[in-house]
């Protein structure tokens, strides 16, 4: 038992523990990592003190100040944090008690949050994990029009507050969701601006739009907080407060974990030990994936949230010295015991290219029914967790188990801070910048290139059927890229037609003539009549 006890980190007063017994961290390993550990502790100290921690963008990184504004490096930043927090709580209170009402009267009952990535995943996690007593929460987090309308058509629109979240205000997915929603309001003869809230950077495109159109409210996003670490900022607090969640408790949980993992003592620092476990499991090179298995339905989105937090932070081509390193840590998962009927079979018997992070919730609020004599459904859930953990260990598969008493604002705050700090530590251990995302920016640029080409191809269509090769040659563009544009146009544009050939080379595309379009309009009119 003493050996097992040595592999535990327990914060008894907080009710949270981490069990590394299935991925043991030995004194020899700590010794070998000594210089890296010292560097990581010093790096996070510098970060919290306000030193530039994102050198590529010349920015401070301040999400830890959000949980304790006294740590902010300047009085101005402290005041900014405190003022925004107060404004958020007051606004949410006014919405929930009916001081602020919809233009049509009555009360707000629903909130629609429009965002992408960190501007949606964090709020979605909170909304899904924690029961609220306020507004019902819905999200638009993609630019899929079918998905948007599936959500919009379910909303009680006259009672819906729309929250648009984008630091720049130019993020395409968020902008598109906003424009589609605005049009939906217009069709329903409602004034979007009177029911809209902007969470964005001061002076951004969205900020200027909201000011010019007279939106209901604008909240400023902090320049020194990145999307994937923004859940305890105004990004996460506005939706959470509107949902009626105790955001003070959420921030308290994060602050408590920050405090416990600020100490330069590896044995008692859960976040540093977690980062070191990742390093040991993956040889510091991401050689194995992390499978996240929370054994609680309310935490089903936690693996998705961690996927962005960890992969966007750690997945980098170059280290801080400019060396090509191709770092990364792949994260996936769903929930237990669902996964025992899905991919745990491969985890047990297949390729050993992973380690598991189990998340245990020790208490169940409603576990009264005996499904077998003396055994409840909650007992089964615990049995499946422990059984999977043991079965994997017997097969030589490593795992970490994180245990919390309940799912509450306090424990969710602790989990968020635990993983945020583990990411900070791990990034220092492998010497990369955890706070930029050049790969994401590259994807955005490539998308813009495609959209520009799409416009060019659309304008080049003639009424005579042509192959992709012919059109590409005529406009001087890559044949394959033109073909993808044509497929999209053929399937989505009402004024275009495609005809499948025996092969892709033989597919033809054309625009419809004015006469053909008029005939189609006449047919539609007849059908409607």
Catalytic residues: 312, 341, 444
Residue 156 near residue 216, CB atoms below 8 Å? no
**CB neighbour burial string for 137-164, b if at least 16 within 10 angstroms, e if fewer:** bbbbbebeeeebeebbeebebbbbbbbb
Question: In 10 A of CB 129, how many CB atoms?
Answer: 23
Tokens of 106: 């009555």
Distances (CA, A) of 390 to 124, 289, 360, 361, 396: 32, 19, 14, 18, 10
Tell me the C-alpha distance between 163 and 175, whole Å: 12
Secondary-structure breakdown of the chain: helix, strand, coil percentages, each rounded to the nearest 5: 50, 15, 30
* Separation CA 486–CA 493 (nearest Å): 10
Phi, psi (deg, nearest 5) at residue 278:
-60, -45
- Report yes or no: 278 and 271 within 8 Å, Cβ to Cβ: no
Q: Residues in the chain, how many? A: 529
Ramachandran region, residue 396 (left: φ > 0; alpha: ψ -120 to 50; beta: rest): left
Handedness of CA 52, 56, 62, 64 (dihedral sign): negative
In whole angstroms, how far apart are CA 340 and each of 101, 349, 383, 391? 47, 13, 12, 11
Pairing of strands 16-19, 399-404: antiparallel
Whose structure tokens read 């429009």?
Answer: 114
What's phi and psi for 140, nearest 5 deg?
A: -110, 110
């Amino acid at each position: 038992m003493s050996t097992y006890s040595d592999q535990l980190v327990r914060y008894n007063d907080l009710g949270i523990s981490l069990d590394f017994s299935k991925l043991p961290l030995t004194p020899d390993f700590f010794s070998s990592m000594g210089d890296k550990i010292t560097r990581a502790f010093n790096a996070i100290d510098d970060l919290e003190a306000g030193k530039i921690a994102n050198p590529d963008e010349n920015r401070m990184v301040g999400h830890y100040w959000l949980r304790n504004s006294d740590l902010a490096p300047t009085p101005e930043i402290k005041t900014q944090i405190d003022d925004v927090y107060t404004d958020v709580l007051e606004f949410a209170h006014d919405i929930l008690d009916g001081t602020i009402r919809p233009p049509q009267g009555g009360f707000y009952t629903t909130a629609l949050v429009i965002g992408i990535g960190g501007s949606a995943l964090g709020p979605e996690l909170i909304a899904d994990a924690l029961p609220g007593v306020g507004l019902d929460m819905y999200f638009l987090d993609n630019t899929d029009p079918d998905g948007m309308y599936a959500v919009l058509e379910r909303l009680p629109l006259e009672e819906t507050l729309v929250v648009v979240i984008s630091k720049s205000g130019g993020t395409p997915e968020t902008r598109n969701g906003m424009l589609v929603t605005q049009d939906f309001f217009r069709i329903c003869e409602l004034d979007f601006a009177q029911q809209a809230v902007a969470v964005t950077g001061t002076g951004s495109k969205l900020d200027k739009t909201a000011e010019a159109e007279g939106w209901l409210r604008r909240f400023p996003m902090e320049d020194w907080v990145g999307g994937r670490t923004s859940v305890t900022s105004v990004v996460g607090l506005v939706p959470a407060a509107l949902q009626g969640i105790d955001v003070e408790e959420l921030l308290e949980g994060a602050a408590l974990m920050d405090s416990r993992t600020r100490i330069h003592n590896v044995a008692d620092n859960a976040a540093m030990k977690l980062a070191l476990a990742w390093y040991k499991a993956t040889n510091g090179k991401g050689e194995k994936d992390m499978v996240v298995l929370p054994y609680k339905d309310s935490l089903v989105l936690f693996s998705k949230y961690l996927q962005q937090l960890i992969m966007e932070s750690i997945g980098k081509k170059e280290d801080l010295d400019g060396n090509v390193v191709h770092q990364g840590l792949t994260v996936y998962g769903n929930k237990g015991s669902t996964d025992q009927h899905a991919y745990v079979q491969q985890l047990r018997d297949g390729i050993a290219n992973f380690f598991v992070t189990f998340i245990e919730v020790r208490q169940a609020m409603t576990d009264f029914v005996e499904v077998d004599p003396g055994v409840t459904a909650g007992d089964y859930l615990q049995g499946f967790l422990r059984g999977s953990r043991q079965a994997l260990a017997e097969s030589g598969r490593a795992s970490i188990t994180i245990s919390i008493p309940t799912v509450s604002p306090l424990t969710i705050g602790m989990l968020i801070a635990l993983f945020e700090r583990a990411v900070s530590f791990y990034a220092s251990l492998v010497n990369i910048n955890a706070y930029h995302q050049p790969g994401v920016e590259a994807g955005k640029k490539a998308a813009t290139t495609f959209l520009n080409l799409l416009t060019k191809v659309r304008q080049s269509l003639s009424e005579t059927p042509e192959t992709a090769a012919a059109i590409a040659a005529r406009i001087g563009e890559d044949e394959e890229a033109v073909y993808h544009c044509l497929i999209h146009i053929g399937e989505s544009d009402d004024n275009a037609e495609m005809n499948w050939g025996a092969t892709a080379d033989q597919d033809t595309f054309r625009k419809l003539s004015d006469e053909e379009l008029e005939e189609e309009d006449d047919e539609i009119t007849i059908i409607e009549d």
